[in-house]
Amino acid sequence: MAELKGALIGCGFFAINQMHAWRDVKGASIVAICDRDPERLKIVGDQFGIERRYTDAAAMFADGGFDFVDIATTVASHHALVEMAASHKIPAICQKPFAKTLSDAKAMVAVCAEAGVPLMVHENFRWQTPIQAVKTALQSGVIGEPFWGRFSFRSGYDVFSGQPYLAEGERFIIEDLGIHTLDIARFVLGDVSSLTARTKRVNPKIKGEDVATILLDHESGATSIVDVSYASKLATEPFPETLIELDGTKGSIRLSQGYRLEVSAPDGVRVSDASPRLLPWASRPWHNIQESVLAIQQHWIDRLAYGGETSTSGADNLKTLALVEAAYESAANGYPIDIGAML
Ligand code: NAD
Ligand code: 89V
């Protein structure tokens, strides 16, 4: 199979991870990059040795010469760039949050489906080594049928220094971080039928909410809690670990701080280390996220090369985005939201 050629749009904070990971992905390489900011274009172009550089995505698509596009811009440009990719019949990966609204996201999924173009959302958290380990343990059946879960991300990490735009939006933690946690809840316990949420803003220097507590009814009958906070001052900072508790009819699973995985089953308790690898280009504490970037990008290339729908396709991601939108509506109005009615 010939190596697939990719183009990346958006050379900002997180794209550096994506560019490093593209170097490690088997079967693909990046041949062109685009950023409307010439300074960012130069930094990334020089760092990764990319000659083809554009400040205008339309000009890059017009020149062509690539098999897929990786959209690493912030959400405001996602709709237009995904449509541009579809109009050129170019398969697209798009960063989360995929769209500002669910109706926008539905239109983006539809335009790619009509064009017959594969579309994947870069929803990488479910690809983290510890999350995959939890899913594998659950699927082995040793804890029986899961009836309860908790997916928790509580931190006091200064996320605003790397991503200053996060302090400026009306919406913050659910849209930016909770979206990952909700996706993990879906990945582990299956799709959700209804949701109730409460939010708070603790940090007076930001506009949006920095704490959210969300109750999920899964279609399987299981109940779970997704709780996220950037206002939690803890003895040992856990960023960016997602902690998981699952209770099943025969046992339980606990993913606790430090990537400790404990599986309690009728035949005993097994404790293992579910730590991510520290890739040569990665740095702590981000290495968990960085490793998952490589995993999701490899998954995309494998699917492009050999066929099959991606785990976090645009269509799949509608179900995660619906939870985000429902959480804001429930928090604003106090009532539970029927998820099926939104899709
Ligand atoms: P950023 O602001 O640092 O970078 C975005 C870049 O895109 C900027 O350089 C900007 O000039 C460029 N850009 C914006 N619109 C453009 C357009 N139309 N054409 C060309 N260039 C354009 O943002 P970031 O922190 O790198 O975040 C980018 C995306 O990645 C966001 O959607 C964010 O939520 C997501 N993100 C994901 C993870 C993850 O783990 N999946 C982590 C961090 C950020
Ligand atoms: O996913 C994100 O966009 C990031 C982080 C992982 C830090 O929450 O903001």
Atom of ligand 2 nearest to the CA of 163: 9
The confidence score (pLDDT) of residue 337 equals: 98
Give one DSSP letter per residue of 229-298, joined into a string: ES----SS--TTPPEEEEEESS-EEEEETTTEEEEEETTEEEEEE-PPP--TT--TTTHHHHHHHHHHHH
In whole angstroms, give the CA distance from residue 303 to residue 188. 22
The confidence score (pLDDT) of residue 54 equals: 99
Cis, peptide link before residue 97, omega less than 30° from 0: yes
Kindly identify the ligand whose nearest atom is closest to the C-alpha of 97: 1
User: Residue 235 pLDDT > 80, yes or no?
Assistant: yes
In whole angstroms, give the CA distance from residue 81 to residue 34. 12
Atom of ligand 1 nearest to the CA of 124: 41
In angstroms, what is the span from residue 79 Cα to ligand 2's centroid? 20
In whole angstroms, give the CA distance from residue 185 to residue 192. 9
The predicted model gives 112-137 an average pLDDT of: 98
The confidence score (pLDDT) of residue 153 equals: 99
Q: What percent of the chain has pLDDT over 90?
A: 99
Its ipTM equals: 0.99
| Residue 101 structure tokens | 């609204």
The confidence score (pLDDT) of residue 2 equals: 84
User: Residue 155 pLDDT > 80, yes or no?
Assistant: yes
In angstroms, what is the span from residue 66 Cα to ligand 1's centroid? 21
The confidence score (pLDDT) of residue 277 equals: 98
Indicate the residue type of 209: E
> What stretch of H or E contains 307?
none
Q: Is 14 in the pocket of ligand 1 (CB under 6 A)?
A: yes
Q: Residues 179-195: pLDDT tens digits?
A: 999 999 999 999 999 99
Q: What percent of the chain has pLDDT over 70?
A: 100
Q: Is 148 in the pocket of ligand 1 (CB under 6 A)?
A: no
Atom of ligand 2 nearest to the CA of 95: 3
Q: Residues 194-216: pLDDT tens digits?
A: 999 999 999 999 999 999 999 99
Ligand 2 pocket by Cβ (under 6 Å): 159, 163, 176-177, 180, 240, 289
Q: Is 122 in the pocket of ligand 1 (CB under 6 A)?
A: yes
Q: Residues 278-306: pLDDT tens digits?
A: 999 999 999 999 999 999 999 999 999 99
Atom of ligand 1 nearest to the CA of 81: 18
| Residue 305 structure tokens | 């090369």
> Ligand 1: which of 95, 104, 241, 291 to mutate, judged by most atoms within 8 Å of the beta carbon?
95
Atom of ligand 2 nearest to the CA of 159: 7
Q: Residues 254-264: pLDDT tens digits?
A: 999 999 999 99
User: Which DSSP symbol is given to 275?
Assistant: P
Q: Is 95 in the pocket of ligand 1 (CB under 6 A)?
A: yes
Q: Is 57 in the pocket of ligand 1 (CB under 6 A)?
A: yes
Indicate the pTM of the whole model.
Answer: 0.98
User: Residue 1 pLDDT > 80, yes or no?
Assistant: no
The confidence score (pLDDT) of residue 256 equals: 98
In whole angstroms, give the CA distance from residue 238 to residue 257. 7
The confidence score (pLDDT) of residue 123 equals: 98
The confidence score (pLDDT) of residue 268 equals: 98
In angstroms, what is the span from residue 78 Cα to ligand 1's centroid? 10
Taking CA atoms only, the protein residue closest to ligand 2 atom 7 is: 159
For residue 294, the tally of other CB atoms under 10 A from its CB is: 23
In angstroms, what is the span from residue 315 Cα to ligand 1's centroid? 22
Q: Residues 35-84: pLDDT tens digits?
A: 999 999 999 999 999 999 999 999 999 999 999 999 999 999 999 999 99
> What stretch of H or E contains 87?
helix 78-87
Atom of ligand 2 nearest to the CA of 176: 3
